[in-house]
């Protein structure tokens, strides 16, 4: 009550809108006009491309969450995360073909069991790998200036890329093509195939599990507390080192799930794909508000949609050559206009 | 308590460093069961560093710290909490995006006895009815006084044997300061030993049984609180009397 009385009246803002605000709003307006024109011209294509965007957005979301989880707790951009994802995809390709003996075109219950088994192995592998990276490369630098672990992360990224290169060579490796491409539905010419639906069907439970883990469990509470104040968490009796390890484990496991989905959906993997997809997922995390879990998912779906619209729409779309430029232009625009992201709050400690 | 004289916490010749800076240059402090002991001294005298040495956030390079007869010199912070030492840190350090209720729950992180936790929650709300009114509010939106209550309540939720309070009166309106000190006495009467770090030496010496005056990382004076109140030098330097 006292605090409310003390609050000064809000000053009336009558400043002229700045050049950057006008520019940003113009861009958004143009984008919306472009989307509406495309929607009117080719409604069924538009809907189909929208669904494709949602599907790739799901894979981006799993990777983006890893960036956001780790950033939230250590304020570290884990540049090696994309490469953990890449190794997860390679691991999935190898396990599916060699361990479970899947071959392209195979179908039946065996395939589902094998895919599920591969998912578990990929998640365990990437989770362990990520936690190990933290232990070896980041933990000794916990009290060093922030730039030091950042540079180490880039170093680890190169190491993992070269591990991938040494393991599978410089060319694309084929992944067994087992996801059925039959149609789930065909409404007015808008089709959706099973291989896309499966990506969504695996992503959604993983996301629900993550929310439950962070919101409801003791370990999740420890994660949230450590992200907000590390010293105070230690004073509450939280084992901070173990909590950080656990966070990297979860982030890695999400990257492993993304790796499997990517391998099966795109059906080819190369050593440098983690770097590219990692940057896209990082942009998604920044777009949603880095450190914010729902934001990472929203950002990833936005980026997935933007990419799909850019590559799929026919009326004045820049096309796939421009995808990366557009994604990074978005990164820059977000950092200029709304550095806290779509869902982020400006917090005193977030700066 | 192997010594049998109720000695709870014992710091012997503790040297603690921040990098190459020696913040504590050989500090020896005793806290006996049931006492309120206060550490007073100017900024940078080493009061907070002493607490950080005890709670395991800054391990001493030399010297020893024993709690109830066990050596905790190099114990990790979470194991120190488990042994029964809880702290309300300087500047409150609440979890700003958690509600008051969640903050209090975090204080009981090490405990598994749901019934006991609920009892202690009720006890904290009894001590600070204001917190009950604000229990669903995010801690970051509380006023300074309410945040301090929440920080003390959070430390109490660990049901500690030793409660360490770092500058509980800092930045508070006089009416809140009095309320906080009343609570400290109340909590102590209920059986919790208290180690109180304060810049407000006058209030601290009023409630404490014994006190230590720290100066640039060493113990300059150690005596009964009453005696320190009368001490010429303390009165001049810390109580602002002439």
Give percent above pLDDT 70 in chain A: 94
Whole-number Å distance between alpha carbons of A252 and A132: 10
User: Which residues of chain B, if any, have pLDDT below 50?
Assistant: 1-3
pLDDT at A12: 54
Mean pLDDT of the region A250-263: 97
Whole-number Å distance between alpha carbons of B23 and B28: 14
Query: Secondary structure of A152-163 in the HEC alphabet?
Result: HHHHHHHHHHHH
Q: Report whether pLDDT(A347) > 60.
A: no
**Substitution target from A6, A142, A229, A235 for chain B, most B beta carbons within 10 A:** A235
Whole-number Å distance between alpha carbons of B23 and A125: 45
The answer to whether residue A117 sits within a structural domain is yes
pLDDT at B235: 87
Mean pLDDT in chain A? Answer: 90
Strand partners of residue A174: A268
Which of the four pLDDT bands, split at 50, 70 and 90, describes residue A349?
very low
Mean pLDDT of the region A289-315: 92
Q: Is A348 exposed, middle or buried (0-12, 13-18, 19+ CB in 10 A)?
A: exposed
Mean pLDDT of the region A69-84: 94
**ipTM score assigned to the predicted complex:** 0.91
Helices (H) and strands (E) in chain A, counts: 13, 4
The answer to whether residue A180 sits within a structural domain is yes
Which residues of chain A does B93 touch, with a Cβ-Cβ cutoff of 8 Å? Answer: 229, 231-232, 235
Select the residue of A3, A221, A237 nearest B110 (Cβ to Cβ).
A237
Cβ contact, residue pair A235, B77, below 8 Å:
yes
The answer to whether residue A248 sits within a structural domain is yes
Tokens standing for residue A229: 């104040």
**SS3 assignment, position A30:** helix
State pLDDT tens for residues A127-153: 999 999 999 999 999 989 989 999 999
Select the residue of A2, A231, A238 nearest B93 (Cβ to Cβ).
A231
pLDDT at A291: 84
pLDDT at A2: 43
State pLDDT tens for residues B39-87: 999 888 999 999 999 999 999 999 999 999 999 999 999 999 999 999 9
Any residues with CB less than 8 A from the CB of B181 and at least 6 apart, and which? Answer: B169, B203, B206, B207
Q: In this structure, are residues A258 and A88 in contact, taking their beta carbons and an 8 Å threshold?
A: yes
Which of the four pLDDT bands, split at 50, 70 and 90, describes residue A13?
low
Cβ contact, residue pair B95, A3, below 8 Å:
no
Q: Into how many domains does chain A fold?
A: 1
Q: Report whether pLDDT(A47) > 90.
A: yes
pLDDT at A3: 45
Considering Cα of B38, then B43, then B48, then B50, what sign does the dihedral take?
negative
Which residues of chain B does A222 touch, with a Cβ-Cβ cutoff of 8 Å? Answer: 109
Cβ contact, residue pair A231, B89, below 8 Å:
yes
State pLDDT tens for residues A188-211: 888 899 999 999 999 999 999 999
Which of the four pLDDT bands, split at 50, 70 and 90, describes residue A105?
confident
Length of chain A (residues): 351
The answer to whether residue A33 sits within a structural domain is no
Least confident of A157-166, A246-255, B63-72, B228-237: B228-237
Cβ contact, residue pair A236, B154, below 8 Å:
yes
Q: Report whether pLDDT(A213) > 90.
A: yes
* Complete domains list, chain B, with CATH: 1-84+162-168+194-242 (3.40.50.300)
pLDDT at B217: 94
pLDDT at B133: 95
Cβ contact, residue pair A221, B105, below 8 Å:
yes
Q: In this structure, are residues B115 and B170 in contact, taking their beta carbons and an 8 Å threshold?
A: no
Domain hosting residue A168, numbered range: 51-274
Task: Please state, in angstroms and as integers, the Cα–Cα distance from residue A82 to each residue in A149, A312, B212, B237, following that order.
Answer: 16, 25, 54, 59
Rg of chain A in Å (alpha carbons): 22
């Amino acid at each position: 009550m006292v605090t409310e009385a003390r609050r000064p009246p809000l000053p009336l803002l009558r400043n002229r809108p700045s050049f950057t605000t006008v520019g940003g709003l113009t861009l958004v307006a143009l984008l919306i006009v472009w989307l509406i024109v495309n929607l009117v011209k080719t409604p069924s294509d538009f809907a189909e491309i929208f669904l494709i965007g949602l599907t790739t957005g799901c894979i981006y979301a799993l990777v983006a969450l890893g960036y956001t989880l780790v950033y939230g707790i250590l304020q570290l951009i884990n540049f090696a995360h994309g490469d953990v994802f890449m190794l997860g995809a390679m691991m999935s390709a190898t396990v599916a073909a060699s361990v479970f003996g899947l071959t392209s075109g195979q179908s039946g219950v065996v395939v589902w069991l094998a895919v599920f088994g591969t998912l578990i192995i990929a998640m365990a592998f990437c989770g362990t790998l990520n936690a190990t990276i933290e232990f070896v490369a980041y933990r000794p630098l916990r009290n060093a200036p922030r730039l030091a672990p950042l540079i180490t992360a880039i170093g680890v990224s190169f190491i993992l890329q070269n591990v991938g290169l040494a393991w599978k060579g410089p060319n694309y490796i084929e992944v067994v093509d087992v996801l059925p491409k039959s149609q789930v539905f065909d409404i007015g010419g808008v089709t959706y195939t099973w291989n896309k639906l499966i990506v969504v069907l695996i992503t959604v439970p993983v996301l629900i599990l993550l929310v439950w883990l962070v919101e409801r469990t003791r370990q999740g509470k420890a994660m949230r507390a450590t992200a907000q104040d590390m010293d105070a968490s230690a004073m509450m009796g939280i084992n901070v080192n173990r909590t950080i390890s656990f966070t990297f484990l979860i982030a890695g496991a999400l990257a492993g799930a993304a790796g499997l989905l990517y391998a099966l959906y795109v059906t080819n993997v190369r050593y440098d794909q983690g770097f590219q997809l990692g940057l896209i997922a990082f942009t998604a995390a920044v777009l949603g508000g880095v450190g914010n879990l729902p934001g990472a998912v929203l950002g990833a779906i936005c980026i997935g949609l933007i990419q799909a619209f850019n590559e799929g729409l026919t009326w004045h779309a820049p096309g796939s050559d421009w995808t990366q430029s557009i994604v990074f232009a978005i990164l820059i625009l977000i950092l200029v206009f709304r550095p806290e992201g779509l869902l982020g709050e400006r917090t005193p400690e977030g700066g | 308590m192997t010594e049998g004289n109720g000695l709870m916490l014992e710091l012997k010749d503790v040297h603690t460093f921040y990098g190459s800076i020696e913040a504590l240059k050989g500090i020896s402090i005793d806290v006996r069961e049931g006492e309120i002991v206060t550490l007073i001294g100017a900024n940078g005298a080493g009061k907070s560093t002493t607490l950080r040495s005890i709670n395991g956030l800054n391990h001493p390079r030399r010297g020893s710290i024993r709690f109830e007869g066990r050596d905790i010199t190099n114990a990790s912070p979470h194991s120190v909490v488990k042994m029964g030492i809880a702290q309300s840190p300087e500047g409150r350090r609440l979890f700003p995006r958690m509600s008051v209720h969640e903050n209090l729950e975090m204080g009981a992180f090490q405990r598994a006895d749901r019934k006991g936790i609920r009892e202690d929650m009720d006890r904290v709300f009894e001590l600070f009815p204001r917190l009950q009114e604000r229990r669903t509010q995010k801690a970051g939106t509380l006023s300074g006084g309410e945040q301090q209550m929440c920080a003390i309540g959070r430390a109490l939720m660990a049901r500690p044997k030793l409660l360490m309070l770092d500058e509980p009166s800092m930045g508070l309106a006089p009416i809140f300061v009095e309320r906080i000190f009343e609570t400290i006495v109340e909590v102590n009467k209920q059986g919790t030993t208290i180690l109180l770090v304060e810049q407000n030496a006058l209030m601290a010496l009023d409630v404490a049984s014994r006190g230590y005056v720290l100066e640039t990382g060493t113990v300059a004076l150690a005596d009964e609180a009453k005696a320190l109140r009368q001490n010429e030098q303390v009165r001049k330097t810390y109580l602002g009397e002439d």
